[in-house]
Structure formats: structure tokens, C-alpha cells
Chains A and B, each alone.
Chain A
């Protein structure tokens, strides 16, 4: 058991070590003594309670988007549309929250806002989902198209529908706001970490356990592994794919809790942008486990906050370079680890029937390993 766990952790450790090395190289290229940039990054994150609070704040949306990518991946689908799903859901969620009466108590207001955001997220995901399920169109192309359409809808909504020039919504009702964490942990004072973080952690664990333990959750996974076998078994493959994708969009949308509800108190254009992309890295580093997703989100949250800490000396974009590289590193490292330890990857012995998508079928497993 211990040996198995060590083997599962090895790729992560290797990837992170490689990432730190790369960060040093980038810092060096920008004329920094490597260790000093690293120290700066550490001091700005885990070095102070404020920095730690900021790390949790940055990690919160990534918990939702990481979980969202993972849910779709279970069904063998790549939901790279979280960016658009979250953006439109944030706008609608904030608009709903702003319309609610100020006297509405939190136990009623918050679920209303979260549900409307989730519904919009699922609706945005519905386009690639239905095209994939019914027409066999690969979800990656369609999700990017939808992202770009949302990119145009947002400023249009502000300027034409709402007639506002400030590109932000009105302030949300107090009942829809999530309080800051410094209410209970005073030393986080000043940081933007809110109760969205514990909420996100609970949702990650609940959703992952539901995926493993409920019938629909397990069917989603089987569909990702062997769609043909599922079809023979009478499982409605298309329906399960649709469910996974809609769930994924809804979960990505919940990230609004940490941005508009827990931080700004309104939605403005660009709030939460980038979380959708980082969620992919979170899911890849998370290795399909709830605790993995939580740790990966905290790690990438650390990277984001560290990027701000070193920005004066090394551009914060370096952290995005690092993030993309980490996706590759962890994928390569786990491949190498599984080869050298003699774990045979599930290769498909039978020739597959011409299936209606460019990705090879057991995408869910292969992508991770």
C-alpha cells in the first residue's frame, strides 16, 4: 500500500521539482539571483498569514474549475470551456444577486444565486455537450468557439443590455455575499480568502465521492473507459456524456462564489479570468482524487500569488509558463513512472470500431496516465 502510494506521488514530486528548477532558470534569465526570487516567492505566499490567506483565495476558484475538468474527464471528455462557462455564469449570478432584496437572509439568498450561476454554467456547457453527444463533433473545437462567443456577449451585455459604461454590475445583496475568512482567523486580515474556500473543499470531496459511489457517477466513469461496452450493457452513453458535461459546466460556474460573492461584491469584466485554464492543470496534478485536487489547487494558488510577489523582478506571466510546463511534466513523469515500475498501461487489444471522435476512446484513463 505504501509502495503504491509512493508510486502515485512520485510523478507529482518530480514535476514540482522540475517546475522549481524551471522557475529558477526563468528568474535567472531575467537577471535575478535564482534563490532570491524563490525566497521572495515564498515570503509572499506561505511566509505570512496574509500571504497564506491570499493563497487560499487564489486556490478557491481553481478548486471548482479543477473539479469541473475532472468530472468531464471521467466521461472521456475535455471540457476546456470552463473559462466561458464561468464568465457568463458570474455575470448572471451577480446580476441575480444584485436584484435580490437586501433583507433576504443568507440561507435563502446564497442558494438562489449559486443555483442560477450553476444553471447558466450548465447551459453554456450544453452547446458543446449536445453537439458532441448528438453530432459527434469534438467538444474541444466547439468549447473554444463558445468561449469566444461569451467573450463578445459580456461587453455587449454591459453596453447594450444594461447600458452601463463601467463594465461592472451593481453591488450584490448582502445576503448573497460570502463573509471573509478573517472573521474566524483574524491573522488572515486583509486577505481576500472567504468562506468560499471551505465551501469549495466540501464540494470537491462531496462530488468526488458521489462520482465514485453513486450509480450515475460510476456510469459516467465507465462511459469514459469503454463506451462500446457500456452501449452493449444498455447504458445510454450519450446521456451520460451530456450529464458529465453539464455537471462540469455547473461546477465551474460555482467559482463565482469566490470572486463576485466572496471578494468583490459585484462582477466586473475579466473577474475570475484564467481560472478555467488553470483548472486543467489542477485536474492533471490532482490525479483523480479529491485530496489531490485540493492540494493541486492550493499549489497552483501558491504559484499565482507567488507570481504577484515576484512581479516587480520577474514577470508574473512566468507562472503561467510554469503551469503549462507542469501539465506536461506530470504527464511525462507519470508515464515514465508507470513504465519503469512495470505497470502495464491498458492498451486496447481490439481494433476499435470507427468511433465518432478524434480522441482515442479510453481518454479518461489515458489522459491521466
Chain B
């Protein structure tokens, strides 16, 4: 039991929570601006692939990170152009985004590495002490530049949304786009700006996922974008609580990994892998009927 309450466990929980938290913060940015964004999954995946492809080519994880963020912004803005300018239904655009990301990264794997399943290994960031003790692991997780960026995003988002002029405009566009437009706010531009932030933060999570595995695997986002979306809903579209929900999720998943070897021997076996998804379903089913959704979610300033 001591393995459950240990520094190793803490390190694992944080490490696992980062991609979830990034996607959730990305979701908060998009949806607080009033844009339904179910394409977080696709942005995670694209971010992961771009980070690996660029790192593999340049041997610089920093460049890989920058490229991943660029890819995330591009996809997110593409979603924004479709929903806000072309007025395509946001759910359809989001589904297409996810399918496109899955197919394009698969095609990229074939084109670049002639593989159907994964990329060759890469050298990601390596900071902090070596060693297998819990303390060393925790330090390595915390000294990771991607984690640092993610932490900054989590910390800054509630502040920016609450206290800055930009944040106020984002919330106005999300709560009541018609009223926002009537006081001279360009709702489309504000939403696109928020989507750019959303895509950048979400792609950060993708890069973390890939650097953590030190390679890209086909479909490696494994539903994280949707679980993050569930965290956004359960938190009432609040960034801090959403990130906290993701951390709880990280703890659950770390617990699953610790228990895995024990459980594998029982009849439950590999079904233990369904734990994150079952937990998400349960939380969604038991959480109070959603409150706090932006009133203008999916609505436009002008018909």
C-alpha cells in the first residue's frame, strides 16, 4: 500500500494529468468565447505528431514544441473560420477536425517513417536528476519545460479571463454575442483570438504526451480530448476547477497503473484499462445537471 502514498505516485499523477489539463484549459478558452469545441482530441494528436516530427528532424525539442503550438493554433483557427465565418455547425466541424487529425497523422507516419503504428524514438527534454527514486521522478516531472508552460497556462487563464480587457471580451462573446456586438466588440475576431489561445494550450498537452513517450503512436491521444471536455463540463466551464478535475483524473489513472499488475491476474484483467472512461461516465452521470455553461455557446452575433 505504501506505493499508493508516495512521491512516485504524486509524480505519476502530475505527469499523467498534464495533457488532460492542457486540453481542458484549451476547451475552457474556446467555449467561454462561445465556440463549441469537440476537436480538442484532434489538436492533441496533431500537437503530439508535429512535436515528434519536428524534433526528429531538427533534434531540438524546443523547435518541436514551437511547431506543435503552431499546428494547434492553425487547426483551432481553422475550426473558428469554419464555425464563425462559414457558419458550419461546430459539432460537424469538430468531428471533421478529429477525423482529419487521425487520418493525417497516420498518413504522416507512413510518409515520414514508413510505419503504420509509431514513429522512431526521439530525444525529448531531459532536465532534473537521474535515478529511480520518487523524489527524482517528481523533480524530473516538475523540471520539464512543457510542464512549466502548462502550469503557466493553468495559472494565467482564470486571471486573464477575469481581470483583463481581453478576458472580458472573450466572456462577453461567449455569454451574449449579440450584446457584445452591439457595444462594438467584433465577436468573430475575439472568438478567433480565444481559439488561437485554446489551440496553443491544447497542443502543448499533445507535445507533453509525445515527449513523455519519446515517440508518436497512432491515435495516442486515446480519448483524452473528450475526457478533458467532460472535465470542462463538470467544472462549470471554470479553468481552475477543470484543471483540478484533471489532476484527480491523473491520480485515478496512476492508481490504475499501480494496481494493474495485481488486477491483471484476476478475471477483470485488461478491463482495468476502461477505468478512466467508466470514471468519466460516472462523474458525468452523477454530477449535478450542468450549470455555468456560457449562455451564448454555439450562438452567433448575427444570423
Pair from one complex: yes
CB-CB < 8 A to B271: which residues of A?
A: 152-153, 156
Q: Which residues of B contact A345 (CB under 8 A)?
A: 87, 303
Q: Which residue of A lies closest to B225 (CB)?
A: A144
Considering the chains assembled together, what is the distance between the CA atoms of A97 and B126 in angstroms? Answer: 54
Contact A367 B87, beta carbon cutoff 8 Å: no
**B226 contacts A327, C-beta separation under 8 Å:** no
Q: Is the CB of A366 within 8 A of B111?
A: no
Q: Please, how many residues of chain A have a CB less than 8 angstroms from a CB on the other chain?
A: 54
> Closest chain B residue to A321 by CB distance?
B103
CA distance A290 to B46 in the complex (A): 35
For window 66-102 of A, CB contacts with B under 8 Å fall at 78, 80
Minimum CB distance partner of A26 in chain B: B107
Residues of B within 8 A of A347 (CB): 303
Among the listed stretches B55-63, B139-147, B187-195, B285-293, which one makes contact with chain A, having 4 or more residues with CB under 8 Å of it?
B285-293
Q: A151-162, CB under 8 A of B: which get 1 and which 0?
A: 011011001100
State whether A328 touches B93 (Cβ < 8 A). yes
Q: Do most interface residues of chain A lie in helix, strand or loop, or is the interface mixed?
A: helix
Docked CA distance A286–B89 (Å): 16
In-complex Cβ contact of B223 among A30, A148, A156, A323 (8 A) = A148
Contacting pair B277 A320 (CB below 8 A): no
Given A152-B273, A153-B271, A324-B99, are A142 and B82 also a contact pair (CB < 8 Å)?
no
Is A149 a contact partner of B89 (Cβ separation < 8 A)? no
> Which chain B residues numbered 32 to 61 have a C-beta less than 8 Å away from chain A?
36, 38, 41
Task: Evaluate contact between B230 and A141: CB separation under 8 angstroms.
Answer: yes
B267 within 8 A of A: yes
A282 to B289, CA, bound (A): 33
Q: Give the CA-CA distance A141 to B283 in the complex, in Å.
A: 12
Query: In the bound complex, do residue A356 and residue B290 qualify as a contact, i.e. CB atoms below 8 Å apart?
Result: yes
Chain A hits for B293, CB < 8 A = 354, 358
Pick the most buried of B90, B223, B277, B280: most chain A CB atoms within 10 A of its CB: B277
**A138 engages B86 (CB within 8 Å):** no
Contacts of A356 in B (CB 8 A): 289-290
Please provide the chain A residues from 21 to 73 with a CB less than 8 Å away from any CB of chain B in the complex.
26, 29-30
Which of A129-137, A169-177, A189-197, A198-206 touches B? Answer: A129-137
Instruction: Please encode chain B, from 84 to 103, with 1 for each CB lying within 8 Å of some chain A CB and 0 for all others.
Output: 00111111110111011011
B246 proximal to A (CB < 8 A): no
Binding site for A on B (CB under 8 A): 31, 36, 38, 41, 82, 86-93, 95-97, 99-100, 102-104, 106-107, 110-111, 222-223, 226-227, 229-230, 233, 267, 269-271, 273-274, 277-278, 280-281, 284-285, 289-290, 293, 295, 297-299, 303
23 contacts between A and B (CB under 8 A): A30-B111, A78-B91, A135-B289, A138-B233, A141-B230, A145-B223, A148-B222, A148-B223, A149-B277, A153-B271, A156-B269, A160-B267, A324-B96, A324-B99, A327-B99, A328-B82, A328-B100, A331-B93, A332-B88, A358-B297, A359-B91, A366-B89, A367-B89
